[in-house]
Amino acid sequence: MRIATWNVNSVRQRLEHLLDWMKETQPDVVCLQEIKCVDEAFPRAEIESLGYNVATHGQKTFNGVAILSKYPIECETRLPGDLADEQSRYIEAVVSHDGGITRVASIYLPNGNGGPEKYAYKLAWMERLRLHAQELLKLEERLVLAGDFNVIPEPRDVKSPGAWLNDALFLPPTRAAFRELLALGFTDALRAVTDSNDAYTFWDYTAGAWRRNEGIRIDHLLLSPQAADRLTNVTIDRHLRALEKPSDHVPIRVDLA
């Protein structure tokens, strides 16, 4: 099973890129973030024409997540822990396939910059995710938490660490909360296969970041033990960042035996 995640930064603006990439790489499940449209505006017909089931949790202009699957899916669209949270940042699906089931979540974790209130929301969201993931692990299923976590885990995951010291993506409490999530028993798929210092998934649009390879790694696939045991390969589709009018993120995908 091939499971991918991609922050497309507006699915309608990147639709041609998305369709071409799906035809090229043939993922079984795709987790999208920042679709930036309400459910009714999602290009469902175009995706379904490629043989995918579609589940979305959209929001006008901002945020929004989706799961696309070649297999039947049953979805939930709310991260437990805060009934007042109206931001569309989480969708979870049980994917039914020949080998049983695999549970997949598409996650768009808050950025956290912009003041103390936004950073507090980020950390609270991460704690809600940790508590929910802890419960999901008790099911002892193949589980993949995939998405834009807005977390730079380590200095090797950023080209210029010094430039990010005061950014919410790299602050010590952010990185500590990410480690607490991993400590539940998850495997960071990319780090299970490479120690590369050049495995970036995001390059800002400004200041020639792509040309100078000033990248960061913030898009992750975290695997439960049952999924990690089946991991065979991880690929970052870096070339998509060089396309005309690209997303500032690129897809990352895992192959599970």
pTM score, two decimals? 0.97
Mean pLDDT confidence for 80-88 = 96
Domain tally, the chain: 1
Choose among 148, 48, 61, 63: nearest CA to 107: 148
Which pLDDT band, with edges at 50, 70 and 90, does 103 fall under? very high
Indicate if the pLDDT at residue 200 is higher than 90.
Answer: yes
What is the reported pLDDT for 226? 98
Q: How is residue 239 annotated by DSSP?
A: G
Query: Which of the residues 108, 119, 121, 200 is marked catalytic?
Result: 108
Residue 152's identity, in one-letter code, is I
Q: Is 248 one of the annotated active-site residues of the chain?
A: no
Which tens digits make up the pLDDT trace of 149-197? Answer: 999 999 999 999 999 999 999 999 999 999 999 999 999 999 999 999 9
What is the reported pLDDT for 245? 96
Q: Which residue has the tokens 């379904």?
A: 48
| Average of per-residue pLDDT values in the chain | 97
Q: Between vectors from CA 110 to CA 109 and to CA 111, what angle results, nearest 5°?
A: 115
The percentage of residues in the chain with a pLDDT greater than 70, rounded to a whole number, is 100
Element (H or E) spanning 48, and its range? helix 44-48
Which pLDDT band, with edges at 50, 70 and 90, does 207 fall under? confident
Query: Which of the residues 28, 121, 148, 157 is marked catalytic?
Result: 148
- How many other C-beta atoms are found inside a 10 Å radius of the C-beta of residue 131? 13
Domain residue limits at 177: 2-256
Decide: residue 123, CB within 10 A, 0-12 exposed, 13-18 middle, 19+ buried: middle
Q: Is 229 one of the annotated active-site residues of the chain?
A: no
What is the reported pLDDT for 219? 98
Indicate if the pLDDT at residue 114 is higher than 90.
Answer: yes
Indicate if the pLDDT at residue 107 is higher than 90.
Answer: yes
**What's the CATH number where 48 sits?**
3.60.10.10
Distance CA 6, CA 204 (A): 15
214 and 160 in contact (C-beta within 8 Å)? yes
Residue 81's identity, in one-letter code, is G
Mean pLDDT confidence for 93-103 = 94
Element (H or E) spanning 221, and its range? strand 219-223
Sign of CA dihedral 121, 123, 126, 128: negative
